[in-house]
Amino acid sequence: MNGNIMVGKNSKIEKGVKLNGPIIIGENCLVESGIIGPNVSIGNNSKISKCNLSNSIIMEDCEIKSESKIENSIISKNSKILQKENFDASNIFLLGEGTKIYL
């Protein structure tokens, strides 16, 4: 863990996750694996797994489970990014509320 990192109430960061602040993680979040930061904000009730996430805003109630690199992105409320086979490893997103993407 490097830099300023704020973690909200009832959020869990699992062992092995790399955090590079500044990072804000909201309440009731789960970060299972991956590299988070720098310059990342994760909204309440979100679940992050496997991805490399930087310079991005993830709003509340989102789920990201993909081995891709997500950078310079804004992911709106209640969106999902889930991995399928044969995905591109680097992506930039601007997703509207309720969007679901399978990579």
Confidence grade of residue 1 (pLDDT, cut at 50, 70, 90): confident
Taking Cα atoms as reference points, which of 69, 58, 67 lies closest to residue 86? 67
**Bridge partner residues of 70 (DSSP):** 53, 91
Which of the two residues, 12 and 89, has the higher pLDDT score?
Answer: 12
Please report where in the chains the tokens 């310059």 appear, as a residue: 39
Average pLDDT over the chain, rounded to an integer: 90
pTM (two decimals): 0.86
Instruction: Report helix, strand or coil for 68.
Output: coil
CA distance 69 to 82: 13
CATH number given to 5-102: 2.160.10.10
For the segment 3-8, the average pLDDT, to the nearest whole number, is 96
Contact by Cβ (8 Å): 46, 31: no
